[in-house]
Amino acid sequence: MTDRPEARADAATEGGQGVGRQLDWSTLPFFLELARQGRLAPAARRLRVDHTTVSRRVAELEKSLDLKLFDRTADGFALTEAGRGLLPHAEAMEAQAAAMTDGRGGASAGVQGRVRVASMEGISAQYLARRMPRLAERHPGLMIELVTSAALFNLTKREADISLSFVPVRGPKLAIRRIGGFALFLYGAPAYLAAHGTPETPRDLARHRFVDYVEDLLQIPEVHWLLDAVPAPHVVFRSSSMYAQATAAANGAGLVLLPSFAGEADPRLVPVLKPHIRAERPIYLAVHEDLAWVPRVRETVRFLEEQLRADQAFLMEGLEG
């Protein structure tokens, strides 16, 4: 029998061959979470245990397999060759277990459990948070976690189950598809327009002030959408938060370019040059292939796709359906 690490890792997952007979399956979640997070503390938080428990259970798994699964580095923990060999098998078992508890295997009825949806601040706070209660009405057993970040989430490391973004996320075994898009328009506060005049043509924007993102803090260049619509804006206020930008514009700081789902729903703002000034961004949905068929994830994906289709007139033109 070969002593290669990958061969021994495969043997450990074949159920009845080699050291697999001594494997304690309850250690696999600790292995998976440490592999995804790369550090003990974040893995412990996800598992709701102490970090020493994560370390101990991973050590137990390594001992039972007689394999070294992680290398300790300056940045945390990195999978060894044997660990990388074990990872897809452990993920497959995790997905099968999740399906059983979701009702696919008859262990419980209905769609239930936690689903983590990741997106940018604007689309999360100004669009998704307004729609998600409808999903709760359809599936009361679901618990949705809506998380935001200025950067893209890593679905391969299970930082989230589903991603909605206007930039395709990257990673192995991800199912990614475009499910819609949104348009952005200029908005301003009535008091600002009364004081500075309402632009009648795009050329009038040269004498106006603007609100924008903080350029050197942008982790996703596509967020700098103002430059798509106004080539040389006179920016007087910047913020890394889209909601802060809208609030500043509502209080007279200047004009702001916002997605329709944010600008049209803000009673403090009115559209400016809507037929002439606009930018567009796609919306991509991504889910890990191992989770796509799990009922709680599948139903959440279905809801998001239905909602985006139903809202396209609003998202692209700012027209309520």
| pLDDT tens, residue by residue, 135-187 | 999 999 899 999 887 667 777 677 788 999 988 888 888 889 999 999 999 99
| pLDDT of amino acid 216 | 84
Environment class of 73 (CB within 10 Å of its CB; exposed 0-12, middle 13-18, buried 19+): exposed
Angle between helices 51-65 and 5-12 (to 10 degrees): 100
d(CA 163, CA 37): 17
Among left, alpha and beta (phi > 0; psi -120 to 50; other), residue 197 is: left
pTM confidence score: 0.68
Q: Quick one: average pLDDT of 112-141?
A: 90
State both tokens at 164.
């909605």
More confident residue, 21 or 197: 197
Q: Quick one: average pLDDT of 73-90?
A: 88
| pLDDT of amino acid 4 | 44
Tens-place pLDDT, residues 296-311: 898 999 999 999 999 9
| pLDDT of amino acid 120 | 86
Asked if 166 contacts 225 with a C-beta cutoff of 8 angstroms, the reply is no
Whole-number average pLDDT of the chain: 85
Query: Which pLDDT band, with edges at 50, 70 and 90, does 13 fall under?
Result: very low
Q: Which of 62-66, 90-94, 173-177 comes out lowest in average pLDDT?
A: 90-94
Cα separations in angstroms, 232 against 30, 228, 235: 52, 10, 9
Residue 19 has pLDDT above 60, yes or no: no
Tens-place pLDDT, residues 275-286: 899 999 999 999
Query: Which pLDDT band, with edges at 50, 70 and 90, does 291 fall under?
Result: confident
Block residue for tokens 């998976």:
32
Residue 106 has pLDDT above 90, yes or no: no
